A = this chain, B = another copy of it.
């Protein structure tokens, strides 16, 4: 059976490739708003993303109110995008709604456990990434805030997330007020792709795969500004320290417990 969609390289696929190759994170936005109509259009299309059993185990809280942005800001370590973007979106792993549906339909849900959290987090993240692709293609600019996983308790409180809802990603969204250079800093595929089975890293493969990254002028500047000897030390000693990761792991456990996903 032939596939009507398939061809060597359609103009659409070529455009998508160009678009992906030149995408960049946008941290500065103009004063122009993002209309609810635009947002709804993008969210509706994004909801076409594959989802577990068609259950759509996610929800999104939109923040436009300035007071609410100021409340979220410190939870994202004061990153200025949170108060400066016209809209902030918090993507949540959500088993609350599905559980409520079951409760209303003489069904006995059993989704207060770790596996269900991971299923819902997966649904939420896939949905979020499709949303990001669509929003950027529309000409909007956005920044993905990984900090959502660092302060879940404060976000749960601020957004009044009920049991079985956990924030997993935050996007600041607006019209771009900057055109930053396209970052080309990515590891070669030899670092990330394994044929048939995983081949553990060796000092030789590390040198081969990280040499170009370590040689970039911006990364060398990063090392000297932080008074470190190696780029890896900037990550382990400054950006993502053991102490912070361990403390935030405890916070994450507490948040998962509070939201009913673990005992």
Contact = CB atoms under 8 A, between A and B. Distances in A.
A262 B220 CA distance: 33
Contacts of A227: none
A30 B1 contact: yes
State how many copies of this chain the complex holds.
Answer: 2
Contacts of A149: 115, 118-119, 122
Nearest to A39: B193
Interface string A96-119: 111011101111111101111011
A229 B16 CA distance: 45
A233 interface: yes
B162 A230 contact: no
B196 A61 contact: yes
Interface residues of A, number: 137
Interface string A233-263: 1011101111101101100110000000000
A86 interface: no
A139 B6 contact: yes
B7 A139 contact: yes
23 contacts: A1-B30, A1-B176, A21-B45, A55-B235, A56-B192, A61-B197, A63-B196, A64-B195, A65-B196, A97-B191, A102-B235, A104-B203, A106-B233, A108-B242, A109-B232, A110-B236, A110-B241, A111-B245, A113-B249, A125-B129, A129-B129, A130-B133, A160-B198
